[in-house]
């Protein structure tokens, strides 16, 4: 079983979402549709596991 890190890179999030393109994630972020992100002092971005899980729950749709 894969280790679930508390803080994920954008690349890890894209891979977990079944290979969502980085450009797609960047577009989501630019338009406010991405999960909450943390910008570190070195400029790198991280996503908390809890924020990703919360965001994914907002994406759920009921069956039509």
pLDDT digits (tens, 9 = 90+) for 38-55: 999 999 999 999 999 999
pTM: predicted TM-score of the whole model, two decimal places: 0.83
Q: What is the DSSP string of the chain?
A: -----SEE-HHHHHHHTTS--HHHHHHHHHTT-SPP-EE-TTS-EEEEHHHHHHHHHHT-----
Counting as low any pLDDT under 70, the low residues of the chain are 1-4, 64
Residue 18 to residue 56: CA distance in whole angstroms: 13
Contacts of 2 (CB under 8 A, 6+ apart): none
Residue 27 to residue 8: CA distance in whole angstroms: 18
């Amino acid at each position: 079983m894969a280790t679930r890190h508390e803080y994920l890179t954008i690349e890890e999030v894209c891979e977990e979402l079944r290979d969502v393109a980085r450009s797609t994630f960047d577009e989501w972020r630019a338009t406010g549709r991405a999960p909450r992100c943390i910008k570190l002092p070195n400029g790198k971005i991280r996503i908390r596991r809890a924020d990703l899980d919360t965001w994914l729950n907002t994406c759920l749709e009921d069956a039509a």
